[in-house]
């Protein structure tokens, strides 16, 4: 079943998170550009990308991947905070957005499962 991913509030929020991530990691040290910064960038981008891909294929399967990506991203953000690259306030705000996305993910997944 195909869904218009651009209409999903979940995809829209995930896309906004990517923008927020890019704004925050711009202040990371230059030497991290190909290491932690790159991993954070990839993890954040994978969230809306997998939602979009799932809308064209098997959404429930890709939502499982997204759930893992949110946890991977949160771990990387905590590490950035541990290294003093990411202020506590920024970490808290981003974690809140990730938790909201996880709740939306579970809700969407549950709706898909009960639908079939």
CA–CA separation, 60 and 56 (whole Å): 11
Exposure string (b/e) for 100-112, b if CB count within 10 Å is 16 or more? ebeebbeebbeeb
Which sequence spans correspond to the domains of the chain?
A: 5-115
CB atoms inside a 10 Å sphere around CB 52: 18
Three-state SS for 29? coil
Does the pTM surpass 0.95? The reply is no
Angle CA 105–110–111, to nearest 5:
100
Task: List per-block mean pLDDT (blocks of 10 residues) for the chain, which spans 116 residues.
Answer: 84 97 94 91 97 92 95 98 97 98 93 73
Check if the beta carbon of residue 25 is closer than 8 Å to that of residue 45: no
Q: What superfamily does domain 5-115 belong to in CATH?
A: 23S rRNA-intervening sequence (1.20.1440.60)
Contact 62, 50 (CB under 8 A): yes
């Amino acid at each position: 079943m195909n869904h218009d991913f651009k209409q999903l509030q979940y995809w829209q929020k995930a896309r906004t998170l990517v923008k927020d991530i890019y704004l925050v990691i711009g202040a990371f040290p230059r030497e991290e550009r190909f290491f932690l910064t790159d991993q954070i960038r990839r993890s954040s981008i994978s969230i809306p990308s997998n939602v979009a891909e799932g809308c064209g294929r098997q959404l429930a399967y890709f939502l499982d991947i997204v759930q893992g990506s949110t946890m991977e991203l949160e771990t990387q953000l905590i590490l950035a905070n541990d290294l003093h690259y990411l202020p506590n306030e920024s970490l808290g705000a981003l974690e809140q957005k990730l938790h909201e996305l996880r709740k939306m993910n579970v809700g969407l997944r549950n709706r898909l499962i009960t639908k079939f």
